[in-house]
Amino acid sequence: MKRIQFAVALLAAYTGLIHAQVVTAPVGFVSVTVQPQSDVALGAPLNRAEEFQGVIQSISGNTLTVAGTPGWTANQFVYASGTQPKTYYARIDSGAKEGLIATISSNGTGSVTVTLPSGEDLTNISTNAALVSPATTGDSISIAPYWTPASLVTGVVAGTQLLVYPTNIPGINLAAVTYVFNGTNWLQGATNVNDVAFQFGQGLTLRNNSTSVQTISITGSVPMTGHRLLIKTLAATTRQDVRFFYSSPVPETIGNVGLGFAPGDQLLFTDNAATGRNKAATTLTWNGSNWLQGATVVTTTFQLQPGVSYIYRKNQTATPTNFVWSDLQSYLQ
Amino acid sequence: MKSKLLFLALAAFAQGSAFAGATIQFAEPFFGGIPSNLANASGAVTNGMKWGIVVDTSGNGFANSGSSYDFYAGGVNSAGFFSANGGTSDDYFIPGTVTVDASSLGLQEGDLSTVPGNGSIVDDLIFNPAYSSVTGLGIGDSFALIWFSSSTSAAGDKYGFFANPSFTMPSEGNPTSYGTPFAGTDPVRTASNTFQNPTLAPEPSRVMFLALGGLGLLMRRRRA
């Protein structure tokens, strides 16, 4: 049985809109119970703590300059093996591109240069220097580290595995690479992968190989910005599996999250409460108006659960196509 | 050292343990085919008929080519081995759901012009025990689609049986589609096979023994 508990442990005021450099979003935790010798489809319903929140002063190319004087040191947000284990992203927290995530490739004392996901751009973002109507100030921006194996899954026994699915290979039923916890480190083969960054919204499988129940607790910041994820087809006339989770620490009804782009799209899920590995999945199908589980309409009854990941099986498109899934969580409305 | 040994032991244990479950999708809405026009014993395309699959677990073909199984006491909602010719076969039945009207659900096939109607299968067949829990069941085993005219499996009841070379058991954990044979408008497929009652139809050898016995009694009477 898998149980999820959510608690907002610290209800600090969210004041990340004006120039603040140290801002605290509400902190919570979600605990996930994994049965012996079983898999759970795992998602991170909380973010790692933001390390900067402020306002965008200007944008030039892929470089965003923040308002004020944050006092960063050059490349403090850039991963450096052995000395700086975090891989950082910048997130747009307001405006038309709310929820957009981009990896920081370098930074100066008051600016970050980002690598955008294919299909995303920095247009229509309001800055103090160039307002986009109706904004009266620049859009908000946050900087935070991605989850990694070592930061996301802690307190597990040796032999526990993380199955990580490719995000750049066309097709369905994609084979995963396996990370194994040896009691100290996460390994892929002989390679230490403690610091490998998981993409934002990326779903994983956690495999408990022991004969005992394991419970992991994920502690982090409650998402206070809209959920935004690119769902892509990577090859022409080829269905595409995308392992994802919905960025929310509370359940959300599937009919309320804006999911479903074209008839034939499917959502696959497994029962995290059931025992076993490689469990059979159940399929929901989008018919253009409703989500169906077999012959039953589940649009208003099926809920995306926090801490759980799903497979979005995007129906084929004539050419590779990006679909922006942008939604404001119910607790933020 | 201790933790290393524990790790190795766990890894070894993991490799030897069973995996579980597979999802078989006959319907591929807006992508491929959807099975439809499944009919009862009278040839009437019907909703509400129970369906499932029969797996040839030994690879020796379906008993009697799937045309005349013995009645199945387990019923159409229970998995189990079918019998044929009075003995247990290696053909394993896994129940699914019921046939429905796909058009009422707004479903089309991948060509976006074929709209399947009554007698359609839209539910997945989810098989959650590990294959290893069923004797002989494994990846690559052939299976056939079966549907029950009256949703019963007593002697004399009718069932339909449809096999296709593409119907082989998938690897566990992977939802796998089998809609290709159903692309386009399907012909009406009638439930024309009959569950047998082997106790009412003795084998030829039994009949011969009975005849010889009777003849023996007759001759003994005449001598007396």
Tell me the average pLDDT across A6-19: 36
- What's A331's DSSP letter? G
Interchain pair B11, A183: CB under 8 A: no
Chain A residues lying within 8 Å of B30, measured CB to CB:
262-264, 287, 315
Q: How far is A138 from chain B (nearest CA, A)?
A: 43
Overall domain count for chain A:
2
pLDDT at residue B14, as a whole number: 38
Q: Closest Cα of chain A to B173: distance in Å?
A: 4
d(CA B67, CA B82): 12
ipTM over 0.90 threshold? no
Confidence band, pLDDT 50/70/90 cuts, at residue A318: very high
Using a CB-CB cut-off of 8 Å, the residues of chain B touching A268 are 23, 175
Closest-approach residue (CA) in chain A for B100: A295
User: CA-CA distance, B28 to B34, in Å (whole number)?
Assistant: 6
Residue A151 backbone dihedrals phi, psi, to 5 degrees: -90, -30
Q: Which of A145, A167, A184 is the last residue of a domain?
A: A145
Q: Return the residue of B nearest to A209 by Cα.
A: B14
Answer yes or no: do A294 and B108 touch at CB < 8 A.
no
Q: Is residue A45 part of a domain?
A: no
Of A145, A164, A190, the domain-final residue: A145
Q: How far is CA A5 from the centre of its chain?
A: 19
- Angle at alpha carbon of residue A124, lines to A119 and A125, rounded to 5°: 100
Cβ contact, residue pair B31, A283, below 8 Å: no
CA gap A87, A152 in Å, rounded = 14
CA distance A145 to A288: 37
Q: Which residues pair with B32 in a beta bridge?
A: none
Average pLDDT of A311-317? 97
Coil/strand/helix, residue A289: coil
| 8 Å CB contact of A280 and B130 | no
pLDDT at B129: 83
Among positive and negative, which fits the CA dihedral A203, A209, A211, A217?
negative
Q: Give me the mean pLDDT over the A117-127 stretch.
A: 94
Dihedral (Cα; A284, A288, A289, A293), 10-degree rounding: -20
Contact A278 B19 (CB under 8 A): yes
Closest partner residue to B106 (CB to CB) among A157, A280, A289 is A289
Q: Does B77 contact chain A (CB < 8 Å)?
A: no
Domain presence at residue A233:
yes
pLDDT at B65: 97
Q: B71 or A6, which is more confident? A: B71
Q: Which residues of A touch B109 (CB under 8 A)?
A: none
The answer to whether the beta carbons of residues B200 and B155 sit under 8 Å apart is: yes
CB pairs under 8 A between A and B: 118
CA distances from A200 to A76, A87, A90, B73, B187 (A): 20, 12, 11, 52, 47
Q: Is residue A150 part of a domain?
A: no
Q: Quick one: which H or E segment has residue A113? A: strand A111-115
DSSP string, chain B: -HHHHHHHHHHHHHHHS----EEEE---TTTS-----EE-TTS-B-SS-EEEEEEESSSS--GGGGS-PBP-TT-TTS-EEEEETTEEEEEEEEEEEE-B-SGGGT---TTSS----SSB--S-EEE-S-GGGSTT--TT-EEEEEEETTS--STT-EEEEEEEEEEEPPPTT-EEE--GGG-SSPPPEE--EE-B-TTTS--HHHHHHHHHHHHHHHHHHHH-
Taking CA–CA distances from A36, the nearest residue in chain B reads: B14
Smallest Cα distance from A229 to chain B, Å: 23
Please identify every stretch of chain B with a pLDDT value under 70, giving residue numbers as ranges: 1-19, 200-224
Q: How far is B162 from chain A (nearest CA, A)?
A: 21
3-state secondary structure of A16: coil
The arrangement of strands across the sheet holding A27-34 comes to: A5-10, A27-34, A214-221
How many angstroms separate the CA of residue B122 from the nearest CA in chain A? 5
**Is the bond leading into B175 cis (omega within 30 degrees of zero)?**
no
Chain B: nearest CA to A209, how far in angstroms? Answer: 6
- Picking from A119, A145, A171, the residue at the C-terminal end of a domain is A145
Report the residue of chain B nearest A271, measured CA to CA.
Answer: B128
- CB contact (8 A) between residue A295 and residue B100: yes
Do residue B17 and residue A182 have CB atoms under 8 angstroms apart? no
Residues of chain A with C-beta less than 8 angstroms from the C-beta of B14:
37, 159, 161, 207, 209
What value does the mean pLDDT take over residues A63-90? 97
Hey, is the C-beta of B17 within 8 angstroms of any chain A C-beta?
yes
Q: What average pLDDT does this structure show over A281-304?
A: 97
Residue A22 has pLDDT above 50, yes or no: no
Please name the residue of chain B whose CA is at the shortest distance from the CA of residue A181: B7
Which is more confidently placed, B117 or A118?
B117
With CB atoms and an 8 Å threshold, state whether A210 touches B10: yes
Q: pTM of the prediction?
A: 0.83
Query: Do A156 and A139 touch, CB atoms closer than 8 A?
Result: no
Condensed to tens digits (0 to 9), the pLDDT of residues B191-223 reads 999 999 997 555 555 545 545 555 555 555 555
pLDDT at A129: 93
Inter-chain contact B30–A262, Cβ cutoff 8 Å?
yes
A38 touches A208 (CB < 8 A):
yes
Cα separations in angstroms, A245 against A219, A312, A326: 16, 10, 13
Q: Which residues of B touch A182 (CB under 8 A)?
A: 3-4, 7
Mean pLDDT across chain A: 91
Domain extent for A239: 227-332
| Coil, helix or strand at residue A214 | strand
Give the contacts of A166 (CB within 8 A, at least 6 positions apart): A174, A175, A176, A177
